[in-house]
Amino acid sequence: MRARAALWFSGAWWLLPVAAVLSVLFADAGFPADGSYPLAGQVLGAQSVVLVAPVVGLAAAWVGGRLRSAGWVARPTVRPAWRVWLARLTPVVLVGWVAVEVSAVRGGVRAGGWALPPPGLAAVDLSQLAAAGAIGYAAGTWLRLPIAAPVAIVVPYVVLAFPPAMEPLWLRNMFGINNGCCLIYQSLSTRAVLASVLTGAALTLLGYGLVHRPVIQPIRPPARAAGAVVVCLALAGAAVIVRGMGPSPVQTRTGTTLCRGNAPSVCVWPEHRAELQTVEPFLVRVRTAAGASGVQLPQVLTESISVPLRWPRTKVQLAPHAGRALLQSSVLYSLFPQPFGRCTGVDSQSPAYFYQDAATITRAWWAAELGLSRGTVAEDAQLAQRVKQVRALPLPRQGELIDAAERAAVSCRPLPTMMQLR
Amino acid sequence: MIWALRARARPGSLVLILVPLLGIGLLSSTALPLPHLGFAATRVPLGEFLPCLTVAGLVSALAGGSPERELASSRRWFVLERLFVVCGCTAACAVVVLLSRLSSSPVTWEAVRNVYGFCGVALVGRALLGVTAATAVPLVYAIATAVFVTPYSSAWWGWAYLPSATEPNGWALAIFVLGLGVGCGRRVTRAAALGVVDSA
């Protein structure tokens, strides 16, 4: 009975279908960059909070406006003010939150897996909707509804929509999980989650402090000052937490990868289990070819970057739902040392060019050795000529040259003369 | 007449009119990345978005009067009210042009067009949903078009985000919507209004 009364009075009954439609539209429209990573889909689905929050603000302003026009906000209450506030706001915020979480789950399902959204993401959504509701409710208790309605819509909308344009870049992580989360080797940043929840809580508290009160039940000045200090501290704390971060609310993903095979073993995230099936037979061919020529292979090809990548450990990135040729090309790229920015420079005698040449000729040699189609590895006439010359040598000599190229890449030095491309 | 204008010039409405105007004049080239279905957020200059707030302020002023008494008076409030809105829009546009000239802002004419166009949308909303909900209608329209229509895609319902210089259709549609808003709405007869007052 009380729940029904709360739903009726708060207007949550009309909010629910609006929020649900907006959420589903949003969840269905986009597709995450990594189409097989449920977290990326969930974050994309939860972006509907940008549209649902203004609706929650409007509904809360409507509730506040009803109390205002009935004269209730000017009358003293027996119950504490915070309980009245909480009772009026809870149904509206909860309905919006459920709609956003349903959208997040739907986004996750579209990205390949049913799972509840991570608690951090759900907490950020809840804090943002609570802030939108609190500000809308406060506007409704002070202003006539024709004025409170646009204020309640536009304030949450701008606060949530504007962050992707904010500078400095780290500031964006204070106002929710906006975009850029996540690639398969990333997870939601704990710092961004904490900062967003703190900001949402601070704005909610601000909204509570701005609610119109009866003259004989004011917030006493010490409590008002303490509230202002808490709001400022929370905002400052959120800024300190995210200071120095990049624009995206991500951190390196940790956890257990699925590993198969040996020398090299290939380790992928559980979401790429299907791609592993395609890659395994190809690695058998790679091992056979390496055994015949004596080329040194990396020990581990991994999708995880939680451990520093140093030769003989390299990074492999398997595109989800990609064809066999693309997956083979990805493995081919990971057979070579990755300097990760160590070999730098811009002119043709710089370490960056030495590395690039070594990588190009080695991949072309592997492609020829494994009989891959020409489209797998880009080739030009000079490169084809060099590879042909190398492959005309006895196999052990070929292995020595490829190993020399790998060593040259690791140390950012020039290639052996016979393999040089310029 | 003066009484009616005073009844409409509420502080809240004036703030809602003036603050976005200042924003248009001073920050109009700042882009607001509005979320868009299926794509990355589309950057809409504030100068194109904020007029919906100014119009909301103007239309909220209409809720300030006493409709029963005004309808019962000898003046034609149906006409005067619309005149009030159109004159309010024109005054707002004058402020926009003045501020934009002072700050060398590039999106002046889009803002002027949108003030008139959103005003029409609000008046249509007023006729359909009543004066209380009318203020939210231009905002919802501005957000919805940003969400569903790619700006600069020439879709007719996205007139608010068309470039003013190269797409005169945007102007034509905005003026058409304004005409629709001014023209539509129930015209309450004086006799009916007197009946409302009597029964009250």
* Residue numbers in B near A149 (CB within 8 A): 56, 132-133, 135-136
Q: What does the pLDDT read at residue A421?
A: 64
pLDDT at A370 over 90: no
Most confidently predicted of A243-252, A365-374, A391-400: A243-252
CB atoms B37 and A146 under 8 Å: no
Number of CB atoms found within 10 A of residue B114's CB: 31
Rounded Cα distance between B58 and B52, Å, is 10
Which residues from A are below 8 Å from B when comparing CB atoms? 25-26, 29-30, 47, 50-51, 54, 58, 143-147, 149-151, 153-154, 157-158, 161-162, 164-165, 179
Q: Give pLDDT tens digits for A19-30.
A: 778 777 777 776
DSSP B7-25: HH--HHHHHHHHHHHHHHH
B27: closest CA of chain A, how far (Å): 14
* Position A237 confidence tier, pLDDT thresholds 50, 70, 90: very high
pLDDT, chain B, mean: 79
User: With b meaning 16 or more CB within 10 Å and e meaning fewer, what string describes B32-57?
Assistant: bbbbbeeeebbebbbbbbbbbbbbbb
Tokens 């239309």 map to which residue? B59
Q: Give pLDDT tens digits for A312-354.
A: 788 888 877 777 788 888 888 888 877 666 676 666 667 777 7
3-state helix, strand, coil in chain B (%, to 5): 70, 5, 20
Give B145 or A196, the one with higher predicted confidence. A196
* Position A129 confidence tier, pLDDT thresholds 50, 70, 90: very high
Report percent pLDDT > 90 for chain A. Answer: 23
CB proximity under 8 Å: B 175-194 to A: none
A166: closest CA of chain B, how far (Å): 10
Q: What angle do CA A199, A177, A39 make, to 5 degrees?
A: 140
Residue of A144, A160, A169, A178 for testing the chain B interface, max B β-carbons within 10 Å: A144
Is there a contact between A38 and A112 (Cβ–Cβ < 8 Å)?
Answer: yes
CB atoms B33 and A164 under 8 Å: yes
Rounded Cα distance between A242 and A372, Å, is 46
pLDDT at B197 over 50: no
Is there a contact between B17 and B58 (Cβ–Cβ < 8 Å)?
Answer: yes
Q: What does the pLDDT read at residue A213?
A: 83
B21: closest CA of chain A, how far (Å): 15
A89: closest CA of chain B, how far (Å): 20
Q: What does the pLDDT read at residue B200?
A: 38
Give A126 or A367, the one with higher predicted confidence. A126
Q: What angle do CA A311, A317, A322 make, to 5 degrees?
A: 150
Q: What does the pLDDT read at residue A107?
A: 86
What is the rounded average pLDDT of the residues A61-77?
87
Rounded Cα distance between A46 and B148, Å, is 18
* Residue numbers in A near B143 (CB within 8 A): 51, 54, 153, 157
Residue of A143, A154, A178 for testing the chain B interface, max B β-carbons within 10 Å: A154
CB atoms B56 and A50 under 8 Å: no
Q: What does the pLDDT read at residue A189?
A: 93
pLDDT, chain A, mean: 84
Query: What pTM, to 2 d.p., does this model score?
Result: 0.84
Q: What does the pLDDT read at residue A118?
A: 92
The two most distant CA atoms of chain B are separated, in Å, by: 57
Q: Is B144 on the interface with A (CB under 8 A)?
A: no
Q: Is B55 on the interface with A (CB under 8 A)?
A: no
Question: Going by DSSP bridges, is the β-strand pair A186-188/A250-252 parallel, antiparallel, or unpaired?
Answer: antiparallel
What is the rounded average pLDDT of the residues B120-133?
87
What is the rounded average pLDDT of the residues A166-184?
83
* Residue numbers in A near B41 (CB within 8 A): 161, 164, 179
pLDDT at A420 over 90: no
What is the rounded average pLDDT of the residues A19-48?
78
Q: Give pLDDT tens digits for A239-253.
A: 999 998 888 899 989
What is the rounded average pLDDT of the residues B140-151?
79
Residue of B17, B132, B145 for testing the chain A interface, max A β-carbons within 10 Å: B132
Tokens 């000079």 map to which residue? A382
pLDDT at A407 over 60: yes
Q: Which residue of A has its CA nearest to B31?
A: A165
Q: Which distant-in-sequence residues (6+ apart) come within 8 Å of A65 by Cβ?
A: A140, A141, A144, A145, A148
Amino acid identity of residue A254, one-letter, is: T
A4: closest CA of chain B, how far (Å): 25
Q: Is B16 on the interface with A (CB under 8 A)?
A: yes
pLDDT at B28 over 60: yes
pLDDT at A169 over 60: yes
Give A36 or A132, the one with higher predicted confidence. A132
* Position B177 confidence tier, pLDDT thresholds 50, 70, 90: very high
Amino acid identity of residue B181, one-letter, is: G
Provide the token pair at B193.
């209004």
Rounded Cα distance between B32 and A157, Å, is 10
* Residue numbers in A near B40 (CB within 8 A): 179
* Residue numbers in B near A50 (CB within 8 A): 35
